[in-house]
Amino acid sequence: MKNKIIDSIKSLQSHKKQHFLLAVSGGIDSMVMLDFFNRNSNLTDISVCYVNHNYHSDNEKMSALVSTYCNDSNIPYIESSIDSSKIKSNIEAQLREKRYLELIKVCKKVNADYVVTAHHAADQIETILMKILNSSSFSSMRGIQSLNNNIFRPMLRITKDEIIEYAKKNKVVYISDSTNEDTALTRNFLRKKVIPLLENIKPNLYKPFEDFQNKTNDVEDLLSFTTNEFIKSDDISLSQDIYYINKKRFLALPFLLRISIIKKILSNKVEFYFSKNLLVELSAFLEKEVIGSEKMINNAKILIDRDYILLTEKLDVISIYREVKAGQVVENDEFLFYWDYDKRPKHFLKDPTFEYVDAERFNKKLVVRNVDNDDVFSPLGLSGTKKVSQYLTDQKVSAFEKSKTIAICNEKDIVWVAGKQISNNYKLTKNSKLIAKLNFFRK
C-alpha cells in the first residue's frame, strides 16, 4: 500500500515537498488515508478539512472523531459546513458538488497544493459502472482520474481489502457512514448487490476495470491529439470571432471527433460540457446538413453554410438605423462608416472598404441600417434587380455574415451593400458631376 501511494505522489513530478489538504469524513477510507500520511510525514505536509453536510445524525460524531485525531497529532484542522436543507433530489451529486466547492475554498485559504481524497479501486469500479448505466460521454467513462486540476487521489490503485487490513493492523478508529447502507442510492446498490456477484466471477475485479480505464485514457489521448491537429490545420480559420470549419472535411469525421473539436473551440474561455440531450440534438442537426440552418448549443451558435460549418459565441446582431450627414461618422463595436463628397478618382482600386458613387440624387443624409430579408437592389454589372439575400448567397457569403450585413441607403433606395457591391443606379458615369466617397470598415 505504501509503495502504491508513494508511486502516485511521484507522478506529480514535483521537486518540492507538497502540502496536501486531506478531505476526511471520519469513515474508514479517509481515516486510513489520514493515519497513513500522519505516520509518513516525510512524504508531504498535511492539513485536514472535514466538511459537515448537515444531512445525517452521525455528522457531529464524525466531526469530533476527525478533530480529536488532528488535535492529538498536532495536525492543522479546518471544519467547513454546507447547507443541505434545500436539496430534495439528486442528493448524492449535489452534496458532492457543494463539498468540492468548500474543499477548493479551504485549499486556497491554507495555501495547500492539492485537495486529496481517499477514492480507491472499488470506488473506481462503482463510478465506471454508473457512467455506463447513465450513458455518459466517452470521456466520463474513463472514471475517476488520479489528478484532476488540483484534486489528487493517490489511493486509486489500493483495494478495499488493503484498506481494511491497514485499519485493523494500525487500530484506526472510524465511524461507518449509515447512508452507505441505503441501497436506494445507485452507488450503494452496485456496491452491495451487483459488485459482489461480479467478484464471484472475477475475484480481482479491480484489474479489468483498471485495464479498461487505461485503454479509455489511451483513446482519449488519441482523440485529444487528433482534435488539436485538426484545429491547427487549414480546415479551420478564425475571422471576427467566427470559426469557419471546412464542411466536407468536418462532416467526414467520426461523430466523437466532431464533438471533441466543437468542445475544444468553445472551451477557449470556460470549460464547455455537452448534455446527453444536446449530443442527440446536435447529431441530428449535423446529419441533415441543411444549408442555412442554425442551432444554439449552450451560449454558442452553430450554422451550416454552403462550404463551411460556422461556430461562434458572438450571438447578438447589433440593430442599427442611423441617418448620416456628409462628414459624419457612425461607429459601434462592429464597424465604422462615414461618407463625404469627393473628386472623381484617377484610379479605381479593388478595395471593399470604400466606394465612389454618383451622389446627384442623394438626400442630404444617407441611411445606415441592417439588411432586411425583403431588400432588393440592382447589383453593379447585372441587369435587373435581385434580392440582397440571394445576391449574398451567390457570392458565397455565410449565413452568419448575412445577418450582420449593412445597407447604405438614399432614403429607401440601397446605394451600397456595405463591403460587397454598389447599385447600378449610383455607379459613376462620364456625366457624373456630384461624387461621394463611402467608407466602411469592419472591426
pLDDT in tens, 404-418: 899 999 999 999 999
For the chain, give the percent of residues with pLDDT over 70. 97
The owner of cell 478564425 is 238
Find all residues with CB under 8 Å of 144, minimum gap 6, and list them: 119, 123, 124, 127, 153, 156
Query: Residue 262 is inside which H or E element, if any?
Result: helix 255-266
Q: How large is the average pLDDT for residues 8-14?
A: 88
> How far is the C-alpha of 330 from the C-alpha of 317, rounded, in Å?
16
Q: How large is the average pLDDT for residues 173-182?
A: 84
**Residue 317: pLDDT above 80?**
no
Q: How large is the average pLDDT for residues 377-387?
A: 92
Q: Which residues face 296 on adjacent strands?
A: 301
- List pLDDT tens digits, range 273-294: 777 788 889 999 998 888 878 8
Q: How large is the average pLDDT for residues 183-211?
A: 92
Every domain of the chain and the residues it spans: 2-215, 233-312, 321-442
Q: How large is the average pLDDT for residues 37-54?
A: 93
Domain range 233-312, its CATH number among 3.30.465, 1.25.40, 1.10.10, 3.40.50: 3.30.465
Find all residues with CB under 8 Å of 127, minimum gap 6, and list them: 143, 144
| Beta strand pairing call for 435-442 and 421-422 | unpaired
- List pLDDT tens digits, range 323-378: 999 999 999 888 999 999 999 998 878 899 999 999 999 988 999 999 998 999 99
- List pLDDT tens digits, range 99-126: 999 999 999 999 999 999 999 999 999 9
In this predicted model, which residue has the larger pLDDT, 410 or 398? 410
What's the confidence (pLDDT) of residue 443?
A: 83
Q: How large is the average pLDDT for residues 267-278?
A: 78
Question: At 88, is the pLDDT very low, low, confident or very high (cuts 50, 70, 90)?
Answer: low
Q: Is 181 exposed, middle or buried (0-12, 13-18, 19+ CB in 10 A)?
A: exposed
> How far is the C-alpha of 217 from the C-alpha of 130, rounded, in Å?
18
Task: Give me the phi and psi of 46, to 5 degrees please.
Answer: -135, 150
**Residue 57: pLDDT above 80?**
no
* 158, 122 contact by CB (below 8 A): no
Task: Please state, rounded to an integer, the average pLDDT across all residues of the chain.
Answer: 90
Residue 35: C-alpha distances to residues 46, 227, 322 (Å): 11, 43, 73
**Residue 316: pLDDT above 70?**
no
Question: Coil, strand, or helix at residue 54?
Answer: coil
* 251, 245 contact by CB (below 8 A): no
Q: Is the pTM of this model over 0.85?
A: no
> How far is the C-alpha of 292 from the C-alpha of 99, rounded, in Å?
45
What's the confidence (pLDDT) of residue 91?
A: 65
Q: How large is the average pLDDT for residues 46-51?
A: 96
2-215 under CATH 3.40.50.620, yes or no: yes
**Residue 315: pLDDT above 80?**
no
* 304, 350 contact by CB (below 8 A): no
Domain range 321-442, its CATH number among 3.40.640.10, 3.90.170.10, 3.50.40.10, 2.70.150.10: 3.50.40.10
> How far is the C-alpha of 37 from the C-alpha of 76, rounded, in Å?
13
